[in-house]
A and B are shown apart, each in its own frame.
Chain A
Amino acid sequence: MSASVTPFSSAQASPTARAWQRFKRNRLGWYSLLVFMTLFVLSLGAEFLSNDKPLVVRFQGQWYFPVVQTLPEKLFGGDFETPADYLDPFIQQQLRKDSNWALQAPNPYHHSTLDYFAPLPNPAPPSTRNWLGTDDRGRDVLARLLYGFRVSVLFALALTLFGVLLGVLTGAVQGFFVGKTDLVFQRFIEIWSAMPELYLLIIFSAVFEPSVGLLLVLLSLFGWMGLSDYVRAEFLRNRQLDYVKSARALGLGHWQIMWRHVLPNSMTPVVTFLPFRMSGAILALTSLDFLGLGVPPGTPSLGELLSQGKNNIDAWWISISTFGVLVVTLLLLTFMGDALRDALDPRKANA
């Protein structure tokens, strides 16, 4: 068929800008992005939303900012030089005396806060004191969810970034240079992908001290291969096109052609897979934490909460709320991925 109508108004818009317009027209995907970004930005400021230290304190005519300062208990009339425990009824009383006042964070618990003054045994069900209850060590579940969400998303972002960098680089080299380079790389990938990833993780977490950095390195080592194949296929296709031949005829070097001509036209599968890779990374971290192979103990993490939920089956508030956060996060990412895929679909590009 020979009918292709191009609206004149979009003459100036780059293909990326037009894809963005199409993405925004997809209500579900667009709102998912907005909600996800809001949640993410909020979690970045988690210290101001969920903290046992007050944001601002006015005490005996002086301004204090405990959220960024460490203040001794003695300052507020206590007995010791140790950092003040703002959940201590005595300190709270001191802060309410005379013209003193304190502005608490909306949820007055840090993810590591142990409430020594809690009226109920741990884990405590949701109440006005702990909106989503506490876990088996008396830490506030809401606070742990908020910080855990932040850790998950940051970890997923980092993992996705490294995966994309490695995957695009290896895929581009294979797809552009073909021949022996491609052959060798492909065999390497076959061998590398045959390595039992989970066992390696278990072994390494036994040998080294577990840390987020180590986990990132290990998962990155195996996370690039899927993407590499997609990028390779795109490069194989695009390197044949006339504009690449024209660029070669102009005298451009290999890397210039790859960078300026082939790469921008090969990013569609990469961008489309970003949200799905993110949700994959979040799930991977959660599962490893659930098994106890993930982040070091004490780090707020969704997987660790799930495992607590499993161990304390009566404390339904732990498992249900963690499950809810996971489902919402993964759903938002999936909706964004669907919308992105539609926006970048070349068959819909002219619609």
Chain B
Amino acid sequence: MSTPLLQLRDLRVSFGDTEVVHGINLSIHPGQRCALVGESGSGKSVTALSVLRLLESAQLRGQVLWQGRDLLQQSPAEMTRIRGDDIAMIFQEPMTALNPLMTVGQQISEVLQLKKMWRRQEADQRAEALLAETGIDDPHRRFGAYPHQLSGGQRQRAMMAMALASEPKLLLADEPTTALDASLRLQMLNLLADLQAKTGMAVLLITHDLALVRHFADHVAVMEKGYLVEQGPLAELFARPQHPYTQKLLDSRPSREGLVPVRADRAESLLQAQGLRVRYPMNLPGLRGWFQKDHFTAVQAADFQIEAGTTLGVMGESGSGKSSLAQAVLGLIPFEGGLSFGDQTWQNSPARDKALRQRVQVVFQDPYGSLSPRMTVGEIVSEGLRLHQPQAPESQIEACVLATLAEVGLSTADFPDLLNRYPHSFSGGQRQRMALARALVVEPDLLVLDEPTSALDVTVQKQILKLLQDLQKTRSIAYLLITHDIDVLRAMAHQVMVLQAGQIMEAGTADQVLYQPRHAYTRTLLEAFPNA
């Protein structure tokens, strides 16, 4: 075994009195592809950032040996040289990591001019070559583009070119694909692997996505709550996980076991959409915009139906119109075409729609944005009841709220004084349960789930999906499930609909669409999930 490039010895990181990383030992050898896996809050990003001492206000103890030298003892000037020169980093959100006022070409070229003392012209040429290496299309034109003119994938490629400009020996990649669409993730990872093979640098990939790890890494370290619980070669760790947490992580793919089987005999249509179209007005440039508006069509003439007690999964990448579809079904945005719940439909008036509102509810993606931070749990969950059953006595409302909260797994036994708490004291998964309780308390027939688990950790995701399956069983409630995650669809959907640019590409039963896709686009989407 060669001498390690980077060696963490009993690294401890604390903010104030709180220690968040509790003594980590980790070695990275030249040319190694190491993955640091963990859920949010496990301390994996903090560990990576503390290698470069990029954390302000954090106290670092232990040793960070870079080729035998302790980085924690180096002067700030020396650290500046090492950052970028020897160790480069790419971040999750390329939009915020790139300077919006400089073209990407200038930014890459600047690295070369500063770090290698190259002349402008030379540096520009090399920068363009680097961009070409990352597989960006039309590198000459992209060189002169500003970050906002590039797509998410292109920005991440530009970031990568910038990180590689100084030919680092180690690349720290902090969730480099999380902000990207699923079909791009694998591409980016393959690119990272190619570049790694070409340059021979070591890569530390920080991620929560096990599928990516399996695809990319040769050495895996698992972190939980600031402890490094297990590490080893990829094959060994995945085949024989020793630590219970690793086992739990590996076992966190959602399962279809608890799903209610569809009963073809007595299918009862709950929602019928015919030629559903959603258009947004757009401003025309210049004087014409004063008098007329252009329209952007988000959903084009969609026909579908949802049967009572079943799940219709809608799959598509960002910008495919799936959220617009969900909002139209909820009657939150104006739409054209037919959309009927039995004999009811949206009439665009809060008073006339009230009866239907009770039948259709929603759970959103972001557990932090979907609960008002200034209302207590009791106020949040009881609001729908108070509106739809204004005559109900206070005691009945409270009993109903508590029962619903218990149904989603939040009981007063675990959380004393639950109703008077505020959302900030709950975790993402618990908040998502609360959002679910708020929707369920009015006993809807249809629940629109807009990416209900994509902001959650994998182990929490599995619990929430299980809960949703159980609720469907007990309440025979129908779901309109919007997601980009094929694992979630596999676990949850009875019917699947694939959207691209507002058009339904393919629709049918889950078995058919997810396992025997007919449309080429569906196949590309499915391939993007590596271990499917």
Of the stretches B196-204, B264-272, B312-320, B363-371, the one at the interface is B363-371
Q: Does A11 contact B (CB under 8 A)?
A: yes
Contact with A along B363-407 (1 / 0, CB 8 A): 011100111111110000001100110000000000000000000
B366 to chain A: which residues have CB within 8 Å? Answer: 242
Q: Does B330 contact A (CB under 8 A)?
A: yes
B46 to chain A: which residues have CB within 8 Å? Answer: 1, 3
| One of B20, B332, B351, B373 near A245 (C-beta < 8 A) | B332
Q: Given A243-B372, A264-B374, are A250 and B45 neighbors across the interface (CB < 8 Å)?
A: no
Closest Cβ–Cβ distance, residue A348 to chain B (whole Å):
12
Q: Does A89 contact B (CB under 8 A)?
A: no
Say whether B388 contacts A251, CB under 8 Å: yes
Number of interface residues of A (CB under 8 A): 31
| One of A12, A15, A254 near B420 (C-beta < 8 A) | A12
Within 8 A of A (CB), among B46-91: 46, 49
| One of B41, B351, B383 near A2 (C-beta < 8 A) | B41
A191 to chain B: which residues have CB within 8 Å? Answer: none
Say whether B353 contacts A249, CB under 8 Å: no
Q: Given A14-B374, A264-B372, are A250 and B357 neighbors across the interface (CB < 8 Å)?
A: yes
Closest Cβ–Cβ distance, residue B289 to chain A (whole Å):
13
Say whether A11 contacts B422, CB under 8 Å: yes
**A12, B420: Cα distance in complex, Å:** 7
Q: Does B36 contact A (CB under 8 A)?
A: no
Say whether A242 contacts B422, CB under 8 Å: no
**A8, B376: Cα distance in complex, Å:** 16
| One of A12, A242, A252, A260 near B364 (C-beta < 8 A) | A242
B448 to chain A: which residues have CB within 8 Å? Answer: 249
Q: Give the nearest-CB partner of A262 in chain B.
A: B372
Q: Does B500 contact A (CB under 8 A)?
A: no
Contact with A along B417-443 (1 / 0, CB 8 A): 100111011000000000100110010
Of A5, A10, A16, A245, most buried by chain B (CB within 10 Å of CB) is A245
Number of interface residues of B (CB under 8 A): 49
A254 to chain B: which residues have CB within 8 Å? Answer: 350
**A264, B376: Cα distance in complex, Å:** 13
**A242, B438: Cα distance in complex, Å:** 13
A245 to chain B: which residues have CB within 8 Å? Answer: 327, 330, 332, 362, 364
Contact with B along A251-271 (1 / 0, CB 8 A): 111100000110011000000
Q: Does B96 contact A (CB under 8 A)?
A: no
Closest Cβ–Cβ distance, residue B380 to chain A (whole Å):
8
20 extra interface residue pairs, beta carbon distance < 8 Å, beyond A10-B424, A16-B374:
A2-B40, A2-B44, A3-B41, A5-B20, A11-B421, A14-B376, A15-B373, A15-B424, A241-B370, A242-B366, A243-B370, A243-B372, A245-B362, A246-B438, A247-B383, A249-B332, A251-B388, A252-B387, A260-B375, A261-B372
A-B contact pairs, 7 of them (CB 8 A): A4-B41, A15-B422, A242-B364, A242-B370, A245-B332, A251-B357, A264-B374
- Which residues in B have some Cβ–Cβ distance to A below 8 Å? 18, 20, 40-46, 49, 327, 330-332, 350-351, 353-354, 357-358, 360-362, 364-366, 369-376, 383-384, 387-388, 417, 420-422, 424-425, 435, 438-439, 442, 448
- Which residues in A have some Cβ–Cβ distance to B below 8 Å? 1-6, 8, 10-16, 241-243, 245-254, 260-261, 264-265
